[in-house]
Amino acid sequence: MTARPSDTVLLTVTGRDGPDTTSRLTGLLADAGAELLDVEQVVVQGLLTLALLVRPSASSPEGQDPWQALLLAARELGVTVDVRAVAPVAPPVGPEPLRYVVTAVGKTLGAREVHALTARLAEQGARVERITRLSETPLGSVELHVTLAPDADPSSLKRALLALSMESPTFDVALQRESLYRRGKRMVVMDMDSTLIRIEVIDELARAHGVHAKVAAITERAMHGEMDYDESLRQRVALLAGLDVQVLRELAANLPLTEGAETLIRVLKRLGYRTAVISGGFSVAAEALQARLGIDFAYSNMLEAQDGKLTGRTVGTIVNARRKAELLETLAKQEGILLEQVIAVGDGANDLLMLEKAGLGIAFRAKPKLREAADTSISAGGLDTILYLLGLTARELREVT
C-alpha cells in the first residue's frame, strides 16, 4: 500500500475477467461514497485491466482504510488491486496539445513493426495516449491516439511516418488529425485507372490497336512536364482513331478490380456513404464500373465514335486535374456534404488537386511525389485499408459485409 486514507488514488485491477467484476468493485466504491474521477478498462484474451482514479469520501472515518472492502472483494473475485497515490492533475494552462490518430495496417503487425512505429513517434515527440486493436487474430491493424506539443510541427511527423512506410513495405502507416469529421466522412471519390482498377485503359486500347509504344512515349513526355495533360490526352486519343468500339466495350466489361475494391464499395454503401469515380479515363469503362459496383456517380472523358470506330477525338470538357477538383466540390455541394467529410483517392499527379480539395486525400500506390503531398498514403494494402482509416474495426466490418 503506497497511499494514505485521504489520498486520491489510482486503483489498477488485473486478473481474469468475470461478468460482474467491474460491477462489484464500482458498487463498493459507490457505497463508500468515493468520487470517481476517471476510468479505463480493457480485456485482452479474457484478462482484465481496469484503472479507476478515485477520491475517498470526505466523511470516511479518520484512520480507517477506505479501500479495505474493495481489496477483500477483489480476492473473492480472483483479481488483484494495486493502490497508488497520485498527485492532483492541474488543469491545463495555455494551448491544448495537437491530437492525431495514427493507423497502422498490414497482413500482420509483430513486435518489430510496433516498435518501429512507436520509436518513430517518440523521436518526433509524439506522446502515445491510447492504442486500440482494429483487426482480430492475427494482429493486423492498430490505431494509436497521440498528442504533440501545441508548438510542434505536424509536417515533420507526417514526413517521418511516410519514410517509415517506404522503409517497411509490409505495412501502411497513416496520420490523421483527430477531429469531429474523422469518423464523420460521408463521401468517397476515387480515380479509376491504377486506383479502382489495376490497369490503365488507354494503354490496353493502344496495345490492342498496335500503337502502345507511341502512346507510352507521349505519356512519358507528359510525366516529365514537356506537355500538359490536355495536349497529351489529345495526342494519345488521336492514335486510337479507327479502333473498333467493340474492343473498348469488351475491355470495359472485364476490368480487373484492385484488391479490396469490392469490399470497400460494398461496406461504404451499407454505411450510407456516397461514392463516385472521377477519372481522366474513358466513360465506357467508368460507367461499366459504376453499374458493376453500384457506384453513385461517374465522371470521365467520352471518346467520340462514328460507324462503330473511334474517331481519335474526345467529346466535351476534358477531365483533367483542375476539372477533377471542380467536380469533387460540385458533387459535395449537390449532396449537401462538407468538403471535410469527403475522402479522395488517387495515384497520379493529375489527382493532386482533387486530393487537396478533400478533407482526407489518400495517395494509393502512388509515386513518391504524390505520397509526400497527400494527407496520407496506402501502398502495402488494398483499397479496403481505407475502412480502417475510418476507425472501423474488423468486428464492425463483419456486421456490414
User: Of residues 7, 17, 172, 191, which has the active-site annotation?
Assistant: 191
Q: Name every residue whose Cβ is closer than 8 Å to that of residue 343 and which is 6 or more positions away in sequence.
A: 185, 187, 188, 189, 358, 359, 360, 361, 362, 386
Q: Name every residue whose Cβ is closer than 8 Å to that of residue 221 and which is 6 or more positions away in sequence.
A: 227, 232
pLDDT, one tens digit per residue, over 244-254 is 999 999 999 99
| Alpha-carbon torsion (153, 157, 158, 162), positive or negative | positive
Contact 316, 300 (CB under 8 A): no
pLDDT, one tens digit per residue, over 373-394 is 999 999 999 999 999 999 999 8
In the chain, pLDDT over 70 holds for what percent of residues?
Answer: 96
Phi, psi angle pair for 164, to nearest 5°: -65, -45
- Helices 229-238 & 201-209 angle (0-180, nearest 10): 30
Domain residue extents for the chain: 8-86, 98-178, 187-200+244-400
pLDDT value for 63: 53
Residue with cell 520509436: 119
pLDDT, one tens digit per residue, over 129-143 is 999 999 988 899 999
pLDDT, one tens digit per residue, over 207-222 is 999 999 999 999 888 8
Question: Among this protein's residues, is 191 annotated catalytic?
Answer: yes
Q: Do domains 8-86 and 98-178 have the same CATH topology?
A: yes
Q: Which of 12-26, 51-65, 214-228, 268-282 has the lowest mean pLDDT?
A: 51-65
Contact 284, 248 (CB under 8 A): yes
Which CATH number describes the domain made up of 98-178?
3.30.70.260
Residue with cell 473511334: 310
pLDDT, one tens digit per residue, over 226-243 is 889 999 999 999 999 999
User: Of residues 7, 193, 347, 384, which has the active-site annotation?
Assistant: 193
pLDDT value for 1: 42
Architecture in CATH of 187-200+244-400:
3-Layer(aba) Sandwich (3.40)
Question: How far apart, in whole angstroms, are the C-alpha atoms of residue 22 and residue 13?
Answer: 9
CATH tag for 8-86 (out of 3.30.300.30, 3.30.70.260, 3.30.70.330, 3.90.1010.10):
3.30.70.260
**Which residue in 120, 154, 157, 113 sits closest to 135, CA to CA?**
113
pLDDT value for 127: 96
Q: pTM to 2 decimals?
A: 0.88
Which grid cell is 341?
Answer: 467529410
